[in-house]
């Protein structure tokens, strides 16, 4: 929920990827206007190609970034399912996002609008402003968290090579065995590539 709140209140405009009628990926900027415990909400107009793409596939992915430059930024990426819930929620979205009255100033102009709920998805939080970096996975609406990254297995001989090639210094040793601090890991794969014993495996 913290991530959903951050998307609405801090990022707000995200770039959403969908699939078009030729099965090609396409992106557009969309405002994520509200959230609750396990959903996000946005609106669009029924005449847009974006609307047709959502209706056809019901799936989307997006990334939003907040920060002044790369090293001060937090990115949140989400892969999810979305469904149209109609106009019941429209008034609330306008009240919470009053700038929308400038774009659609009167009742008639709002006729084409409809609301979508992003109701099930998984995502990743990636904070480059921290040193070492911080990342985390999350899921909402009964989706499962996707397993990504690397982990050290029982085959570890404690040689220390992985630690020497880790750019984030996020490998430590517990009882002479390497352990990756997952929340600080870039998923760069250096440790995986350099371990002479094949003791590091890809998760998922
Ligand atoms: C900052 C920003 C926010 C936007 N937010 C929305 C939005 O919330 N809903 C929407 O339908 N279009 C929004 N748009 C416009 C869409 O990005 C634009 O209509 C897009 O071209 C839709 O894709 P389509 O032309 O393939 O239908 C926004 C544009 C900008 C620049
Ligand atoms: S390089 Fe491989 S064997 Fe050596 S400490 Fe790291 S995980 Fe263990
Ligand atoms: S994947 Fe990269 S950042 Fe993560 S532990 Fe291995 S070397 Fe370090």
Residue in 153, 173, 177, 190 to alter for ligand 3 test, most ligand atoms within 8 A of Cβ: 190
What's the Cα-to-Cα distance from 87 to each of 25, 28, 45, 188, rounded to whole Å? 28, 22, 11, 44
Q: Give the residue, by CA position, lying nearest to ligand 3 atom 7.
A: 166
- State residue 139's pLDDT score: 96
Q: For 73-129, write each residue's pLDDT tens digit.
A: 999 999 999 999 999 999 999 999 999 999 999 999 999 999 999 999 999 999 999
Taking domain 150-202, whether its CATH number is 3.30.70.20 is answered by: yes
Q: For 43-63, write each residue's pLDDT tens digit.
A: 999 999 999 999 999 999 999
Q: Give the residue, by CA position, lying nearest to ligand 2 atom 6.
A: 162
Q: For 192-201, write each residue's pLDDT tens digit.
A: 999 999 999 9
In SS3 terms, 30-41 reads as EECCEEECCEEE
- State residue 57's pLDDT score: 93
How much of the chain, in percent, has pLDDT values that exceed 90? 95
**Span 2-140: which CATH code?**
2.30.110.10
- The mean per-residue pLDDT over the stretch 134-153 comes to 93
Residue in 14, 26, 31 to alter for ligand 1 test, most ligand atoms within 8 A of Cβ: 31
- State residue 37's pLDDT score: 94
- State residue 21's pLDDT score: 93
Write down the mean pLDDT value for the chain: 96
Domain boundaries, the chain: 2-140, 150-202
Helices (H), 49-154: 49-57, 90-96, 100-103
- The mean per-residue pLDDT over the stretch 170-198 comes to 96
Would you say residue 36 has pLDDT above 90?
A: yes
By the 10 Å C-beta count (0-12 exposed, 13-18 middle, 19+ buried), 198 is classed as: exposed
Would you say residue 1 has pLDDT above 80?
A: no
- State residue 145's pLDDT score: 87
pTM listed for this prediction: 0.91
Give the atom of ligand 1 at the shortest distance from the alpha carbon of 31: 8
Residue 67 three-state SS: coil
């Amino acid at each position: 929920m913290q991530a959903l709140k951050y998307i609405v209140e801090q990022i707000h405009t995200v770039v959403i990827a969908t699939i078009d009628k030729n099965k090609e990926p396409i992106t557009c900027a969309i405002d994520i206007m509200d959230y609750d415990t396990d959903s996000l909400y946005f609106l669009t107009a029924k005449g847009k190609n974006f609307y047709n793409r959502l209706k056809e596939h019901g799936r989307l992915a997006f990334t939003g970034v907040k920060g002044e430059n790369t090293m001060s930024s937090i990115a949140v990426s989400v892969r999810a399912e979305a469904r149209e819930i109609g106009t019941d929620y429209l008034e609330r979205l306008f009240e919470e996002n009053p700038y929308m009255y400038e774009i659609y100033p009167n009742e008639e102009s709002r006729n084409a609008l409809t609301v979508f709920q992003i109701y099930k998805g998984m995502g990743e939080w990636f904070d480059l402003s921290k040193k070492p970096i911080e990342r985390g996975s999350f899921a909402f609406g009964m989706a499962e968290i996707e397993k990504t990254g690397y982990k050290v297995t029982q085959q570890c001989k404690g040689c220390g090579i992985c630690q020497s090639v880790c750019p984030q210094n996020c490998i430590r040793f517990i009882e002479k065995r390497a352990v990756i601090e997952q929340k600080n890991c870039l998923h760069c794969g250096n440790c995986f590539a350099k371990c002479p014993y094949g003791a590091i495996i890809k998760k998922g």
